[in-house]
Structure 1
């Protein structure tokens, strides 16, 4: 039982767990391979009578051989088709399940995972690594099952023909195993390096596509070509190293096999000259021995795919086994009272980002966070959806710590507009209702569009709400993207509205409309706005001036102006810039 458990903990054992749901098709494939391998000895067996027996036209056994050859290859073709198609079907189903499991886990990993892993490396797991597993699983299983059985069947037939000669072939097994074990570890390490270098290519490509405007403006074509060239050069080097190791293994095994076969032929010729074996037995033995060479060569070559597959499986399993976000099973009720920060501190490693923040926001209040860039405002917002957890202190919703509730139930209470509006490559409507549990009615949609000052633009489009926005809203202007993100947040109708620089890309008219909408929407909910354009938060119930992770000043717009402190100076500078 322990051995079985350990088997399923190995990379290929983990792959078997994805195969088990499709065991019926996999079983058909294995049976077809076994049937195909079991017919391998029949060709030399059919040749033997042609040598030993008379070729007389009345010899029925001889006359039946051509028909038997046709029947043999018809069956072999059928078994080959069934085994190949069914095995690839199982492999693709297993890979589909694996990709789905990877993606499901990826969505549920904490933000720290995304902070510490590059996009290219993550994409590489879904593309290159999974394809390596797919290729390895089909080729390795085919070779190890079918060709191992072919070798076994042919050895049994050779032992039946002449056990003394067959014994020589068995003796080459230990040195072949020695070479395979020595090179396997080396190839696995190189395969891991190859996977890592493929992640580098994905990362450079993704960054270059995303930053194509900056590359053009700064004229950094050569620099990016150099970066990409370094990444592709690494892939080439590691790939060649893997190929060299594999290429060295196959000739080494072939040399051992060739020496053994040469010895066999010499001994068989000697036995035939002494009358110890018939001509038919000699031809059958040599033919069966020759048929051994291709499967042995494939078995040796399969080690390259095996090591690549093991390395890729380990990479895939690292993602599947990654710990998801910690959560509770307690459902968070609709927020009806207040949000409290009590001595909340947060640090990235040794760097303190927020220090002992304490404040309370009641339902119906609008709080604004202002201060210099890098002061900790966005980090504070990231604590509310529990993207990060405080290093110390508590965030309290209606009297209970936010950590007491499940992540999903807390996040259902939140509507969020970030500094960079993320849109999906679908229609305006698809982006609007993204995040809504139930599809809102047309009146609610129209209301959200009006509140975001997006109605004139949408109504002027030929396809209106069905207009596709392109990859990340590339077909929209910056202001239109931001208004669409704001409309999506309004439509969600959440208890906690978080707006991080909501009007950064808007013109003055749109900004005024959004300010009015936020004032209307704050009724019955908690609203928090981060802003650098201070004219947008004059009507806030309270403004927190945050710098170096601490609250320096707090109060209403007029209160802070009368203090003539940090907020006063920032507001004065902001007004001068806007003027």
Structure 2
């Protein structure tokens, strides 16, 4: 066994900048006022940051005089202090507004992804690891939330840069031109690093998804791991994936660590140019000491948005990688098709498979090819066959867990694709071989089976019929007992009983049992069978059977072999006419009868 690597998911797409902008606009429109507020606050703060140094320039020029006015200098100091406080207040409002937008965007993105995940059929989850999906829902949503603000900050910094350049030219044009000598260096530097960051960020996102997937899979299968003493191999495989993520993060950090020392060097270089060149201008009288100091301060104010510009370009690449991963997940179409017909209370349960072709992968031969079978309303059908013969696939198509590629399945004369999918499934009661319980109480898990509110009498009837009452009455908290994550606090057999009650509580028109009693002992199964025999009456029931008693009592038995129905009849008829069924009986079912 090996954990999945950090390759792209099947549904990953690469979006152009324009395509990302179009999709982000839908989110920006809902926060348009707040985004404009942030932009306005940025502009106000920029104006204040330009005004504040003017107080100190005037103070320096005043103090350079032979007879300075100290009261005037003090008033300038107060003006500087008040302006600085206003900058702090503006910064507070900007940060608070930004975090509000980020939080709302993250919430909306996660909801959209969660809704889309509910729509997909099971083939999507067969192809994509849970950990990778979780990485997008949890981590990438935050990155894209930050990405929403990039454009406002880029606009604010651009306006600041243009304004500062104009002011520097006004103070001293020659000194400004000297300062511009290093501008091409910054421009080329930021573009080159932006490209590298885009590559490394995509790789970081893929590798962290692989790490999350390996962690999730390891936890889910911890019992199997310990059973076969495979901890060391799991650790070795995880270390390899973890190291891939480490290498990707080191490469990304190398780009970041290169960026900021160079930008600091650029700041020092600006100081050097101003001192060496500006000193001569002070001596020849073309600029005062205060103006030279002001030019230096404004140069730093120019460099700050340039540095922020570089950081935002880096953040832009991170956000772009996150956007591609999120929009790929949101926009992948579901293979499931459905209509708007709502089944009424008069559903009879007449089922027909007509020329159904189905395969789990388009690259492999189909499991079912032109499968045909009719199940009249109210019949009790048992499905038998060797492992992998197609029994579970048959009921999975009926339950609309997968979409078939050709042919059709009909319920009461209507294609099941024509029904509203939720309304259609509400007519089914399904109990699977592997019982799954959600975190919460036993009662909450039973009520989960019905989309409508159920009465206490209905709940009591379900737990009595399935003998849930037999173990619940011994629990201190009864039906309010917490089952834990995936039902870990109750036994496998108890989980199966609860899942049985969950299916029956909705009073389904069609009952589907996929070896539903495989996890309970023979005595408990007999008790359950007594409780559900009456439920079979007047309902269509399809049972993947492994017990002889269930098979013999069925109205019809369908024998599956390699995706084909090769036998159809009662137990007595198939024992005479069907070799595969007779072989199954003699090698397995007959033994149960003797026991």
TM bracket (short chain): over 0.9
Identify which of 90, 95, 103 aligns with 1:92.
Answer: 103
TM-score by length of structure 1 reads 0.93
Q: CA deviation at 1:129?
A: 1.3
Stretches of structure 1 that go unaligned for 5 or more consecutive residues are 1-5
Identify which of 449, 456, 466 aligns with 1:442.
Answer: 456
Summarize the alignment of residues 390-429 of structure 1 with structure 2, pairs less than 5 Å apart: 390-429=404-443
Q: 1:305 and 1:404 mapped to 2: Cα distance?
A: 46
1:341 aligns with 2:350: no
Q: CA deviation at 1:233?
A: 0.7
Change (3 A) 1:519 1:356: farther
Q: CA deviation at 1:43?
A: 3.5
Match of 2:327 in 1: 317
Summarize the alignment of residues 116-515 of structure 1 with structure 2, pairs less than 5 Å apart: 116-137=127-148, 140=150, 143-170=153-180, 172-255=182-265, 258-259=268-269, 261-324=271-334, 325-333=336-344, 334-336=346-348, 338-348=350-360, 349=362, 350-515=364-529
Q: 2:398 and 2:141 mapped to 1: Cα distance?
A: 35
Q: CA deviation at 1:559?
A: 2.1
Residues 242, 304 of structure 1: 8 Å contact kept: no
Matched position secondary structure for 1:528: strand
Matched position secondary structure for 2:49: coil
Matched position secondary structure for 1:352: coil
Residues 446, 498 of structure 2: 8 Å contact kept: yes
Q: 1:288 and 1:12 mapped to 2: Cα distance?
A: 33
Q: 2:420 and 2:18 mapped to 1: Cα distance?
A: 31
Q: 1:403 and 1:287 mapped to 2: Cα distance?
A: 69
Change (3 A) 1:10 1:193: same
Change (3 A) 1:355 1:561: same
Q: 1:213 and 1:228 mapped to 2: Cα distance?
A: 17
Matched position secondary structure for 2:281: helix
Matched position secondary structure for 2:401: coil
Q: 1:185 and 1:277 mapped to 2: Cα distance?
A: 41
Change (3 A) 1:18 1:472: same
Identify which of 63, 73, 81 aligns with 1:70.
Answer: 81
Match of 2:6 in 1: none
1:532 aligns with 2:546: yes
Q: 2:419 and 2:463 mapped to 1: Cα distance?
A: 32
Q: 2:50 and 2:16 mapped to 1: Cα distance?
A: 33
Q: CA deviation at 1:255?
A: 4.8
Stretches of structure 2 that go unaligned for 5 or more consecutive residues are 1-14
Change (3 A) 1:40 1:65: same
Q: 1:107 and 1:511 mapped to 2: Cα distance?
A: 33
Match of 1:565 in 2: 579
Q: CA deviation at 1:489?
A: 0.6
Q: CA deviation at 1:383?
A: 0.9
Q: 2:314 and 2:245 mapped to 1: Cα distance?
A: 16
Matched position secondary structure for 1:364: coil
Residues 433, 517 of structure 2: 8 Å contact kept: no
Q: 2:349 and 2:295 mapped to 1: Cα distance?
A: 89
Residues 356, 550 of structure 1: 8 Å contact kept: no
Change (3 A) 1:38 1:58: closer
Q: 2:543 and 2:301 mapped to 1: Cα distance?
A: 76
Residues 345, 393 of structure 1: 8 Å contact kept: yes
Matched position secondary structure for 2:45: helix
Matched position secondary structure for 2:367: strand
Match of 1:552 in 2: 566
Q: 1:381 and 1:430 mapped to 2: Cα distance?
A: 26
Can you list the C-alpha shifts for 1:235-286, whole angstroms capped at 9, x where unaligned? 1110111121233344445555654553343221111111111121112112
Matched position secondary structure for 2:454: coil
1:11 aligns with 2:20: yes
Q: 1:273 and 1:384 mapped to 2: Cα distance?
A: 91
Matched position secondary structure for 1:420: coil
Q: 2:153 and 2:559 mapped to 1: Cα distance?
A: 68
Match of 1:3 in 2: none
Supply the RMSD in Å over aligned alpha carbons: 2.3
Q: 1:184 and 1:533 mapped to 2: Cα distance?
A: 64
Q: CA deviation at 1:362?
A: 1.8
Q: 1:563 and 1:283 mapped to 2: Cα distance?
A: 103
Residues 246, 303 of structure 1: 8 Å contact kept: no
Can you list the C-alpha shifts for 1:64-103, whole angstroms capped at 9, x where unaligned? 1121122111111110100001111111111111111111
Q: 2:208 and 2:236 mapped to 1: Cα distance?
A: 16
Matched position secondary structure for 1:193: helix
Match of 1:108 in 2: 119
Residues 102, 142 of structure 2: 8 Å contact kept: no
Change (3 A) 1:423 1:153: same
Q: CA deviation at 1:30?
A: 2.2
Q: CA deviation at 1:108?
A: 0.8
Matched position secondary structure for 1:423: coil
Change (3 A) 1:255 1:59: closer
Can you list the C-alpha shifts for 1:394-423, whole angstroms capped at 9, x where unaligned? 212112222232322322211111121121
Q: 1:136 and 1:205 mapped to 2: Cα distance?
A: 28
- For structure 1, which segment, 309-318 or 342-351, has the greater mean C-alpha deviation from structure 2 after superposition? 342-351
Change (3 A) 1:416 1:103: same
Q: 1:496 and 1:91 mapped to 2: Cα distance?
A: 46
Residues 371, 532 of structure 1: 8 Å contact kept: no
Match of 1:25 in 2: 34
Change (3 A) 1:48 1:573: same
Q: 2:156 and 2:91 mapped to 1: Cα distance?
A: 10
